[in-house]
Chain A
């Protein structure tokens, strides 16, 4: 063990014999991860938009509440929130399944960030657009749906992509729950076989999903930077 030969590294970290027959567990873990990610992305985008719409109105009380909500989400580690929801709430006889608590926590926290992004996007659209739409006889709702939201989506896309990547990354935190997602599956196989190959494989799977998203996000950010 002490005399480490560099030629041993592939045998330790990329030992495919270890993985034989284990891929199904790893891929079922990947499937769970993707499920959590997709549900969370859809819901948090929806709620984020809702939060942004509530913020742009002139409602002082609602604004104050939503600012408090945003600051709360900025200052709370996701893992703490997850433990409180999954291990704390059962003490009050409120029990969520691991999947549900993962989705609830991720959506709760990321909706705040996405809401902030959407708000910035909507506010960045020139006021004259709203005035023009209103003078054409559109109602406020129509202005919102046909004029503001489509443009906001385009403006917000880089930060939205960034948040979505963040959501997929945060699904890995759900290992602490009793749910066999990708990282947990890898840890199970790794402990059983006493070999780190499954961990390396799961990392590669994460990277296969996340690297394209990161590259796209970086491209989008660069393009936005050029436009300014």
Chain B
């Protein structure tokens, strides 16, 4: 499937891309909040992996706008962030994220498993 990765840490974005490409997924990367939505519109992924701490526009704003845009609202969003706090998790989920992972707590394989479990019909 088409997966859009929104992540400002290139190291992490690259390794994710590597892993997912291996599994035959089509990957695009947005490096900041501003780039995320236009890219999403043009790419129309089946899944978005969204970091929260981003330059220019932060992940929450992106998420909000995503869900507000009827074109993009249906795209499931999995938040991958190192912000571990309760309220952030709650906020993300309430804004419409499908799931939330603290990157440092989970091996990459686990995350990839979860990703594969999520696809749009």
Question: Do A and B make up one complex?
Answer: no
Give A residues with C-beta under 8 Å from B. Answer: none
Give B residues with C-beta under 8 Å from A. Answer: none
